[in-house]
Structure 1
Amino acid sequence: MSLDWIYFAISWILLRWHALWDMIGIPDDAVLGTNWSWVLAIVFLVVTVRVILFPVFVKQIKSQRAMQALQPKVKALQEKHKGDRETLQKEMMELYKTEKANPLMGCLPMFLQIPVFLGLFHVLRRLNPDNQLTTLYGWTAEQFKDATHATLFTAPIASKFGSSAAELAALEANSTTVKIIAGLLVLIMMATTYATSRQMILKTGWAEDPQQKMIQRLMLYGIPLSLLVSGALFPIGVIIYWVTNNLFTLAQQQWVLRKFPPPPMAGGKAGSSARPAAGAKAGSNASKNPVQPGRSGGLFGRKAQPEPEKPVVDTKALAPRPGAKPVNPKKGTRPANKPKG
């Protein structure tokens, strides 16, 4: 299947934003070693994609809420089918189907952005002075030439950490500068990728479902670590896209989590368990000291006064000592002997 339609779409959005910044008056000439019109075109490519995918992001949040609400049932199934993994998976899939919850919905926005990432990767990889197909995917020869020489702090956006000496020579780039800029961007990309996953997990909690928990661990640790190796193959322009996308995700998640906070059970075990305990204690005290109608005005809005507690009698203190003669309380005291006379 041809992916040309993706390359045309990415190129069209990129070129429209570049034309807008050029019309506003942002120069193509490098300022601080940076061609800001092209860098901003990549940044606002992210904005365009995220606005289009915003409804999908909302569905992702709703799906995560549904998964959180099912955690008690999932835990019950795990206890019931402990040791029988096949039956457990079957029962959980049936539960998800009945409750209309999709465990994979949490990864859907990321999967939908993969074609955009691949499209931008392909478009920027073509930016080479030796490339003769300058008008492919709707570009003009002048736009292709300008983008080929576009830089971020003197490092071409088409270069990468792992660029060969021949590629850097064709782009007229300094190897040390490219490695420093690309290396710093890869580290920022890893840190922001980790931060986006950690932000969501801290707010929603770890999943009880082993499959969901495995996905959470993969997104939290696996993906950022994989970028340490694969990031060397990404053009600087692609890393700019990735970092901007992560920052956009952090802001979007913060807004959504504040507007639609997760249920208490997902926010933290300590807070959710403390409230029922207090309620149970209050309920037990209420059962011991019920409010009597007509006493202390409890039915008329005033606070009901608890009944005075009866003094506790120490039965051990009243018990006779070992060896002492029993005392008969019915006989009373013995009269004193009268003098003879």
Structure 2
Amino acid sequence: MDTIASLFSFITWPVSWVIVQFHTLYGAIFGDDTGWAWGLSIVSLVVLIRICLIPLFVKQIKSTRNMQVLQPKMKAIQERYKSDKQRQSEEMMKLYKETGTNPLSSCLPILAQSPFFFALYHVLSAIASGKTIGVIDQPLLDSARQAHIFGAPLAAKFMNSPAEVEALGASLTDVRVVTAVMIVLMSASQFFTQRQLMTKNVDLTVKTPYMQQQKMLMYIFPLIFAGMGINFPVGVLVYWLTTNVWTMGQQMYVINQNPTPGSKAQDQYLTRLLKSVTAHGEVRGRTRRNTVKRIVAKGPDRNDIERKFITGLAKLGFAAQEDGTVIKSETAAAEAEAGAAQRRQQPKRQTKAQRQTGAAQAGAKGADSAESDSKTSLQKQGEKPKPAGKPASGSSRQAKSGQRKGPQRPKHPSKK
């Protein structure tokens, strides 16, 4: 880890400068040598970096959605050119170019954060070793080494020896407890972030291998970060926990305000939008108007959730317009009522078991009817119907299966 961090040493000076500026601000409030001053400086560094990465996050969302839409086409290309890998790659690149999709865009926020993450790790490692780095001079170094977060020094690690922890002025138990709690919270936030993406913001009408891969990553990533976390200093754990919480909140906002079409989140969003239109008689908010505008523009290509929303508006007497607004329309309400009446008149679809039961009952009724008709015809001819179960006697007895017709040979006395 130290070797990797040294590769990003060129950015340690800007990172250390930003931390020192925030430390000056928080030190005036909480004290220069407190864990609050240094801990909040790291948190503020995360917030500043994530605000700068918002455009990349938006690009990541668009790329992820485009990849979900393209999965059926990608699978068709793989099946068509499965024996020609070169042609398969060419067709994939052509598809990406036509749709303006970049598969690496979903990794951009993580890749952009990596230099800052390793630079911070390099700074904290230097503090743990008692070395000045960047703009952190000896007085700031001494202050940072005295700062503790819930009894754990910023530069302490879960795997430190008792002697190393004692040199930082803390106990091994405090360091192990604090780092273990932070590792669990870091892994849990990573898992919940991925889980809400898979359960709420995925198009449920498209089943692709991409969804299975994301589901596997939902369980693998937290385990990876938990394994790496035991070698992270407390300050880096603060950084990573903060960025995970930020990602979780940012993603929650996007899911609630701009969900993926066809997902469970879209159904919940359009339900809330329908209630808002019912209460106010209009579409309030630019974002909501843009949503209605996109649904209207789709026309017959709308999914079931979007058609349900348009039908709900029509039942309320509203018609969605191309600019995203709604207007009162008696025609829309009449058409919706006529469609509902037509659906009520249609017979309910029977299950397979009900259809089999009905066929059996019809067959039994047919057999009873045939037997009744036979009895009626015999009675009209003056003949009495023969009781069932009694064999006919004499020459009128029918031969059983496997026996010859005509007179039978008498049985041997021993067989009587």
Equivalent position of 2:13 in the other structure? 8
The answer to whether the 8 A contact 1:154-1:177 is kept is yes
**Would the aligned equivalents of 2:9 and 2:122 in 1 still touch at CA under 8 Å?**
no
Distance 2:305 2:242 in 1: 41
The residue aligned with 2:231 is 233
**Which of 26, 33, 36 is the equivalent residue of 2:30?**
26
- Three-state SS of the structure 1 residue aligned to 2:155 is coil
Alignment of 1:207-226 (within 5 A): 210=209, 212-213=210-211, 216-217=214-215, 219-226=217-224
Residue 105 (structure 1) shift: 1.4
Task: Return 109-118 or 1-10, whichever deviates more.
Answer: 1-10
Q: How does 1:1-341 map to 2 (within 5 A)?
A: 3-23=8-28, 25-28=29-32, 30=34, 35-77=35-77, 80-81=79-80, 84=83, 86=85, 88-128=88-128, 131=130, 133-134=131-132, 136-205=133-202, 210=209, 212-213=210-211, 216-217=214-215, 219-264=217-262, 321=373, 324=377
- In structure 2, do the counterparts of structure 1 residues 265 and 181 end up closer, same or farther at CA, with 3 Å as the change threshold? closer
1:121–1:235 CA contact under 8 A, matched in 2: yes
Q: CA deviation at 1:218?
A: 5.6
Aligned residues: 289
Which protein shows a greater Rg?
2
Residues in 2 aligned to 1:264 and 1:230: alpha-carbon distance in whole angstroms? 36
1:267 Cα deviation (Å)?
A: 6.0
Secondary structure of the 1:167 match is helix
> Which has the higher mean CA deviation after the structures are superposed, 242-251 or 62-71?
62-71
Equivalent residue letter for 2:43? V
1:127 touches 1:148 (CA, 8 Å); kept in 2? yes
Deviation at 1:188, TM superposition (A): 1.1
- So what's the TM-score if we normalise by structure 2? 0.60
Between the aligned residues of both structures, percent identity stands at: 35
Distance 1:275 1:191, change over 3 A: closer
Task: Give 1:47 shift.
Answer: 0.2
Q: Which runs of 5+ in 2 are unaligned?
A: 1-5, 268-301, 309-330, 347-361, 379-416
Counterpart of 1:239, as a letter, is L
**Aligned equivalents of 1:139 and 1:275: distance in 2?**
56
3-state SS in 2 of match to 1:177: helix
Q: Aligned AA for 2:103? A: P
Q: TM-score, normalised on structure 1?
A: 0.72
Question: Does the aligned pair in 2 maintain the 1:204–1:267 contact within 8 Å?
Answer: yes
8 Å contact kept, 1:10–1:116: yes
1:294-340 deviation digits (Å, cap 9, x = unpaired): xxxx9xx697697x99xxxx9x8999945859xxxxxxxxxxxxxxx
Preserved CA contact (<8 Å) 2:260 2:266: no
Structure in which a larger fraction of residues adopt helix: 2
* Counterpart for residue 335 of structure 1: none
Contact preservation (8 Å) 2:63, 2:101: yes
Where structure 1 has 5 or more consecutive residues not aligned to the other structure, the ranges are 279-297, 326-341
Higher RCO (CA 8 Å, separation ≥ 6 residues): 1
3-state SS of 1:162 partner: coil
Q: CA deviation at 1:263?
A: 0.5
